[in-house]
Amino acid sequence: MTAATEGQDDGDDAPVRHLLDVDDLDADELTALLDAAAAFGRSRDPPPSRALVGRSVVLLFEQPSTRTRVSFERAVTDLGGDTVFMGPGETQLSRGEPLRDTARCLAGYTDAIVARVEDHESLTELATYADVPVVNALSDRAHPCQTLADLLTVREVAGDLDGATAAWVGDGNNVARSFALGCAATGVDLTVATPPEHGLDDATLDRAAALGDAPTVTHDPETAVAGADVVYTDAWVSMNHSDRAERLATFETGGFQVDASLLPADAAFMHCLPAHRGAEVTDAVVESDRSVVWRQAENRRHAQTALLERLLAADARR
Ligand code: CP
């Protein structure tokens, strides 16, 4: 990996690699990582790599998680390492210890920090003060590990990423932002349909354009899904939104629910989960044979196995 955010460097070695968002990987690294993840996914056996034997990964989570926590724990175990889970309220952070102090201490005990944070700046601070790789396990701004699994899933559905067509329908949130970067980097033709006030920010569109093609932006879900290989949605309300009722009304009246009439007959349905049946998607679509959400969720494990193997191989100082 050559393009990751650089953290503290002790002067004798290559800079530590971090994954704070998708564009910390260059296109070649992303493709190689997806190839490795696909190989892990094809095998029911533990991966041949034992890259984490004798190594430990701390999962520092400020918010609840099902998929991210368990898929990371399984990925580390499969690579021969062990994990320490620190959930919400379980560290001295909750009593006011500075994050930079926590970062330096955790780096002394472990070989990587996988962090789920409310404020993306916390990840930047962790990466600045920890001299081990820091991985974004979701922030208010980005969800790159989700995108790795998403791209793997799109590739399984469409056969190839370059030229595949994807539609994002709903909120221009953290998952959408990272997905837009991932699509741009891999040649996926993405159209994003959001209400005007909940669209992707200009910075994300600019970053996507720097990687490849920025997504097409529309406010009409039907336009977005026409001809799409995959239709992807996520929650309309996340933990940091206080305007819940207003948001639900906006998305519902705008026709942003993915139901059987919106999902094209030959398109696959994607959702990062948890899904809110009856809101952004109907129960019938989640349970339909067009739904690839369980495969998408499983791909978190394979993608993160490949990611950790590469990140820790690059950080071979320990
Ligand atoms: N998709 C996702 O990040 O799921 P969890 O919140 O359960 O980790």
Mean pLDDT of 182-200: 98
Instruction: Supply the residue whose CA is at minimum distance from atom 3 of ligand 1.
Output: 68
Cβ-contact 136, 143 below 8 angstroms: yes
d(CA 17, CA 6): 6
Which tokens is 272 given?
């990062």
CA-based max dimension of the chain = 59
Cβ-contact 32, 25 below 8 angstroms: no
pLDDT band, residue 46 (cuts 50/70/90): low
pLDDT tens, position by position, 98-139: 999 999 999 999 999 999 999 999 999 999 999 999 999 999
pLDDT band, residue 316 (cuts 50/70/90): low
Q: Name the residue of 300, 301, 304 whose CB sits within 8 Å of the most ligand 1 atoms, as the mutation to test its pocket.
A: 300
Cβ–Cβ contacts within 10 Å for residue 274, how many? 11
Identical topology for domains 22-142+299-313 and 144-297: yes
Which tokens is 142 given?
């980005």
Does 22-142+299-313 carry CATH code 3.40.50.1370?
Answer: yes
Residue 239 has pLDDT above 80, yes or no: no
The CB-side HSE value for 20 (13 A sphere, CA atoms) comes to 21
Query: Reduced to 3 states, what is the DSSP secondary structure of residue 58?
Result: strand
Q: Give Cβ neighbours of residue 98 (< 8 Å, ≥ 6 apart).
A: none
Does 144-297 carry CATH code 3.40.109.10?
Answer: no
Distance of CA 224 to the CA centre of its chain: 22
Which tokens is 31 given?
């493709």
Active site residues: 116, 143, 146, 234, 272, 300
pTM score, whole prediction: 0.95
Q: Name the residue of 85, 138, 140 whose CB sits within 8 Å of the most ligand 1 atoms, as the mutation to test its pocket.
A: 138
pLDDT tens, position by position, 5-33: 444 544 456 789 999 999 999 999 999 99
pLDDT tens, position by position, 264-279: 999 999 999 999 999 9
Q: In this predicted structure, which of 42-46, 150-154, 226-230, 309-313 has the lowest mean pLDDT? A: 42-46
Residue 4 has pLDDT above 60, yes or no: no
Q: Ligand 1 center to residue 51 CA distance, Å?
A: 25
Strand 82-86: give its sheet, edge to edge: 82-86, 56-61, 112-116, 134-136
**Domain extents in the chain:** 22-142+299-313, 144-297
